[in-house]
Amino acid sequence: MRISSVDNGASGYTVCSRSVHWRFGARASAPKGTEVTAVAIVKAGQENVYKAVREAAELAGGFDRLIRPDATVLIKPNVMRPLPPGSGIITDVRVTEAVTGLVRECGPRRVIIGEGASVGYDFPDIMDTHEAFALSGTAEVARKLDVELVDLNRDATKLVEVADADVMQRFRIARAALEADVIVNVPVLKTHVRTAITCSLKNMKGVLPGSEKRRTHMCGLDRAIVDLNRVVKPHFTIVDALTCMEGVWAGPEDKVRLDVIVAGADPVAVDATCARLMGLDPTSVKHIYRAGEVGLGVSDCARIELRGVPVQAVCREFRLFAETFREQFGGVTLIEKDACTGCMGEVQSTFIYLKAAAFDSALSRLAVVMGSVDEVPLLRHRPLVVGNCASRHRELGEFVPGCPPHGREITWKACELLEVDKGVVELAIRKLHERASG
């Protein structure tokens, strides 16, 4: 198996790795004259989420001086696709509700809950952000607390230019994000196929329309995340680390219960702290390191004042995507470069479906080509060529068009290539969805 995670301009295939485990056993003293930023970690039981969110926000400085009576506040949870609360993949709606309640207590002129679902879940009239809002309970929170709900994928956009950009000199952003006086970011903590982790900085991708989300993968995702945050860096972050997700997000077995809330005004410091909660050295996560390097916040753990519960009391080592992929789908030959999360997610669904149907052994005969791969090596079997970005290689195997194609379409093509029973796979898919819906 080969997994590519190639930055713009890089060559060859690399795998995201955990470079240092538990390096920061205790916070070092900050050198004199250097700025220190506060990050709060609060333990939260399943019954006291609101209390934990309030305590974490107050420990980290609170909203009082941040939110003025004439302000427009954008609350940005992670509702990347239609899933029920507690999945670990989207922000727990109880955290979104608690944050929205705290914001409203400050009496701002306007409050918006806004999100743009990820690539593959942004098709109007088929599957879009509003379906995700409904299933997650976010729409009900907006109705209950009388705040606006905006699909940022459908919002009007504005073209911005970034003079000192790494890779994204010009791109479009939802107006609601650009025009907000205050952005309160409410991500969920989890691993990611490209960037090792996804938390505060990466969660801001939801303010980009679909075409721009796709482009971030083509030009180098870690650096694109930094360029995005140069324009719309959140003013305050409250992380849902109640139920998190690790590995390849294959199902309930990949859930991680930390039962904590993390908060801070500096999104870089928040992400660095959350990396430590996952057993990672923050300097090994490219977008966190680069964000600190260009001055978007503090990534040096010696300059982060932790308040509340110590990291050591609640941290645990998360399994990263690459290592878990090898464990679960190690027979697959995956050849890709710069494929977006949409294609990666849909292809991964195919692997999960085939495994659930007990066709694990067939995966060793499956090769997948996706993304902007320059050259495909000689393969023993005809590959699946997935997504429009890989269309130049369509003659090599079975081509599944789309941006991204739906996971079911990829699955049926895989069944044909592998000569396995589609009916058995369909039954396995139904059972998986029944289990996920509870």
Q: What residues does each domain of the chain span?
A: 37-314, 331-436
- CATH superfamily membership of 37-314: LarA, N-terminal domain (3.40.50.11440)
**Nearest C-alpha neighbor of 137 from the set 82, 88, 192, 189:** 82
Same fold, 37-314 and 331-436: yes
Cα separation, 301 vs 187, whole angstroms: 21
State whether residue 6 is helix, strand or coil: coil
Global pTM value: 0.79
pLDDT at 432 over 50: yes
**Nearest C-alpha neighbor of 265 from the set 27, 43, 64, 402:** 64
Judged by average pLDDT, the poorest of 165-174, 176-185, 399-408 is 399-408
Mean pLDDT across the stretch 276-282?
96
Q: pLDDT value at position 179?
A: 96
Pick the CATH number of 331-436 from 2.60.40, 1.20.120, 3.40.50, 3.40.1130: 3.40.50
Q: Which two tokens stand for residue 263?
A: 């908060």
Of the pLDDT bands very low, low, confident and very high (cuts 50, 70, 90), residue 7 is very low
Provide the strand spans (E) within 44-138.
72-77, 110-115
Mean pLDDT across the stretch 410-427?
92
For residue 414, which amino acid is it? A
Mean pLDDT across the stretch 260-274?
98
**C-alpha count within 13 angstroms, C-beta hemisphere, residue 189:** 32
pLDDT at 2 over 60: no
Mean pLDDT across the stretch 17-26?
30
Q: How far is CA 264 from CA 57, 200, 315, 371, in A?
A: 7, 10, 18, 36
> Which strands, in side-by-side order, build the sheet including 384-386?
333-337, 367-371, 384-386, 398-400
Q: pLDDT value at position 124?
A: 59
Query: What average pLDDT does the chain have?
Result: 86
Of the pLDDT bands very low, low, confident and very high (cuts 50, 70, 90), residue 123 is low
Residues 198-213 have pLDDT tens digits of: 999 999 999 998 888 8
pLDDT at 340 over 80: no
pLDDT at 386 over 60: yes
Mean pLDDT across the stretch 45-55?
90
pLDDT at 307 over 50: yes
Q: Cβ atoms within 10 A of the Cβ of 164, count?
A: 8
Top-confidence range, 13-22, 43-52, 118-127, 179-188: 179-188
- Strand 367-371 and strand 333-337: the pairing is parallel
Of the pLDDT bands very low, low, confident and very high (cuts 50, 70, 90), residue 413 is very high
pLDDT at 129 over 50: yes
Higher pLDDT, 155 or 249: 155
Q: pLDDT value at position 190?
A: 94
**Nearest C-alpha neighbor of 429 from the set 330, 349, 331:** 349
Q: pLDDT value at position 34?
A: 61
Judged by average pLDDT, the poorest of 82-86, 242-246, 346-350, 386-390 is 346-350
List the alpha helices (DSSP H) in 180-265: 200-203, 210-219, 221-232
Of the pLDDT bands very low, low, confident and very high (cuts 50, 70, 90), residue 61 is very high
